Amino acid sequence: MRVSAFKINEPVPELNDPIVFGTLIPWLDAGNVGTVVLSRLEESLQAVKIAELAVPGRFFDFTRYRPLARFVEGQRVLKIPNCTLSYAKRPGASDILFLNMLEPHLFAERYIDAVLQLLKALGVKKHCRVGAWWDAVPHTRTLPVSYSVAGQQVDLNTGDLLPRRPGGYEGPTSIINQVTDRLESFGIENQSLMLRLPYYARLEEDHTGVARLIETMMQVFDLPTTLADVAAAEAYEGKRQYQRLSSQVSSSPEVNALVQRLEEEYDSQEPNTSSEPPPSLSPEVEKFLREINDQMGGPGT
């Protein structure tokens, strides 16, 4: 079965009031947090793939998103980068869809239309983007998460809408933001859960961030309690990562001072919720942080 540019596996399941959790690669996927969170949830809830782009090469440049070769039972298998959608049925509760999107290199408008048509065809009523970005927050404190509904921030503790703030981010962005901009015209409620990670520690996979986001999703949405075990496992690995980071940071007076300054700002007021760039670093600090990233397997600063 085809819906626009997507092919849907048959038989098409009857979904009960489905909600979509989506992530966008590489935009707003700092520390691969959004990608790993969706992967853990899909595995835990035994999600089944329902749809993917019929011809992903129409939208993606495979010299930038590289296909991956693997051997499965002695046979060489080529995994082609794609935009995929999977689902998990939940008796007595809303079913869940997981949308893993890659940013397109070609025909972005057609790609956006295809995603929206797919969600509409499956009767989706809510969409929540999950992800993370680098920000001026310390790794020694609870990582901040912002939750919004229809573009307005929500207090995670009370569920109350927060006062709208003037201004907003200006600068480079993703064309795929048009998906979320147009959801309401398709009758789909748009939500967002975004985590902020310490910009001086760009881990390839930030497990503390993964744990924090899963815990927050359990707080906001009606998700199975079994996910608490998944979050606990990620938190354990994240604690080991951040302990190593603290040890390395303490060996540099300049970086240690930077973290202490961020701790003071965090403790004295609400953490920064803007999208402004973090403060500039001296060349010596930049060099030291690159060395930390190399030792911990991060992508660099």
- Is the pLDDT at 296 greater than 60? The verdict is no
Residue with tokens 């809408």: 161
Is the predicted pLDDT of residue 176 greater than 70, yes or no?
A: yes
| Residue-range domain boundaries for the chain | 2-243
Overall average pLDDT of the 213-242 stretch: 96
pLDDT given for residue 40 in this prediction: 97
Q: Answer whether 135's CB lies under 8 Å from 272's CB.
A: yes
Q: Residue 41 to residues 13, 47, 124, 210, 275: CA-CA distances in angstroms? A: 19, 8, 18, 11, 28
Question: Taking 50 as the threshold, does the pLDDT of residue 152 lie above it?
Answer: yes
From CA 221, how far away is CA 218, in angstroms rounded?
Answer: 5
**Alpha helix stretches (DSSP H) within the chain:** 33-44, 108-121, 177-182, 207-220, 227-249, 253-268, 283-296
pLDDT at 83 over 60: yes
pLDDT in the model for residue 300: 40
State the pLDDT confidence band at 163, using cuts at 50, 70 and 90. Answer: confident
The token duo for 154 is 């929500």
Which of the pair, 5 or 272, is modelled with greater confidence? 5
pLDDT computed for residue 2 by the predictor: 94
Q: Which of 120, 133, 106, 184 is nearest to 23 (CA)?
A: 133
Mean pLDDT of the chain: 89
- For residues 83-99, give the mean pLDDT: 95
Q: What is the mean pLDDT of residues 16-44?
A: 95
Distance CA 76, CA 70 (A): 6
The per-residue pLDDT for 295 is 55
Q: Output the pLDDT for position 180.
A: 87
Residue 10's alpha-carbon distances to 50, 79, 94, in angstroms, are 8, 21, 21
Q: Record the pTM.
A: 0.88
CATH no. of 2-243: 3.40.50.10900
